[in-house]
């Protein structure tokens, strides 16, 4: 039966109990839609649907532009009012692919590219564009791991363009020291 594997991996819900039931179908659909990207890690996991933006940001350290974030085996989501401003299925597909790729040993930019692709696709891309040069890979990794909102926005825009084989946005300028021109967000 198709639903059996999904039900066996069902998360524990934390937070807003009234709205969690509204997301369960979306989550099950996202689980099915991302199966081809890899197996879910074995073990319990949870979804924390926050009641306020303050709670979400305090728990995750995420900036206001982020709607979801993993902390260990818990997927933290903004309040439902905020989630409804975006495509909830797209958010969940993106985040579930992060979970599915947790042990894949991909570089941050490679993992993020697959997650971005999964937002609108149920199968991994058959062939990826030519990998970026090593310095761009390093800048993407830095932006995705520790960058501020502006550097992360550049990384996401760059990866979306790369996936679509469109012109790539230029990287933010480096300081004269050769270091990045940004400071990490907290």
Categorize the per-residue pLDDT at 5 as very low, low, confident or very high, splitting at 50, 70 and 90. Answer: very low
pLDDT digits (tens, 9 = 90+) for 71-128: 999 999 999 999 999 999 999 999 999 999 999 999 999 999 999 999 999 999 999 9
Look at residue 149 in the predicted model and tell me its pLDDT.
Answer: 83
Q: Is the model's pLDDT at 179 over the cut of 70?
A: no
Taking alpha carbons only, the member of 65, 69, 59, 71 closest to residue 153 is 65
Average pLDDT over residues 16-40: 90
Task: Name, in order, each residue with C-beta under 8 angstroms of 100's C-beta and a sequence gap of 6 or more.
Answer: 34, 37, 38, 39, 40, 41
Q: Determine the average pLDDT of the residues in 36-50.
A: 94
Three-state DSSP class for residue 56? helix
Q: Which domains does the chain have, with CATH numbers?
A: 3-112 (3.30.2010), 129-186 (no CATH)
CA–CA dist 35, 79 (Å, integer)? 26
Question: In this predicted structure, what is the pLDDT of residue 101?
Answer: 96
Question: Closest Cα partner for 81 from 31, 32, 18, 150?
Answer: 18
pLDDT tens digits for range 113-172 = 999 999 999 999 999 999 999 999 999 999 999 888 888 999 999 999 999 999 999 987
Helix (H, G, I), strand (E, B) or coil at 68: strand
For residues 75, 62, 59, 91, the Cα torsion angle rounded to the nearest 10 degrees is -20
């Amino acid at each position: 039966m198709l639903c059996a594997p999904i039900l066996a991996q069902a998360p524990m819900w934390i937070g807003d109990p009234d709205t969690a039931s509204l997301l369960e179908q979306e989550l099950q659909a996202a689980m099915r839609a991302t199966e081809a990207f890899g197996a879910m890690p074995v073990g319990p996991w949870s979804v924390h649907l926050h009641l306020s933006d303050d709670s979400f940001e305090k728990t995750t350290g995420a900036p206001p532009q982020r709607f979801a974030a993993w902390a260990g085996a818990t997927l933290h989501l903004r309040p439902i009012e905020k989630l409804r401003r975006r495509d909830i299925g797209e958010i969940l597909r993106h985040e579930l692919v992060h979970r599915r790729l947790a042990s894949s040993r991909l570089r941050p930019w490679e993992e993020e590219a697959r997650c971005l692709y999964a937002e609108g696709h149920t199968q991994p891309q058959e062939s990826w564009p030519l990998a970026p040069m090593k310095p761009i890979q390093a800048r993407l990794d830095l932006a995705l791991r520790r960058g501020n909102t502006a550097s992360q926005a550049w990384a996401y825009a760059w990866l979306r363009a790369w996936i679509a084989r469109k012109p790539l946005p230029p990287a933010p300028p480096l300081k004269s020291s050769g270091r990045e021109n940004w400071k990490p967000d907290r």
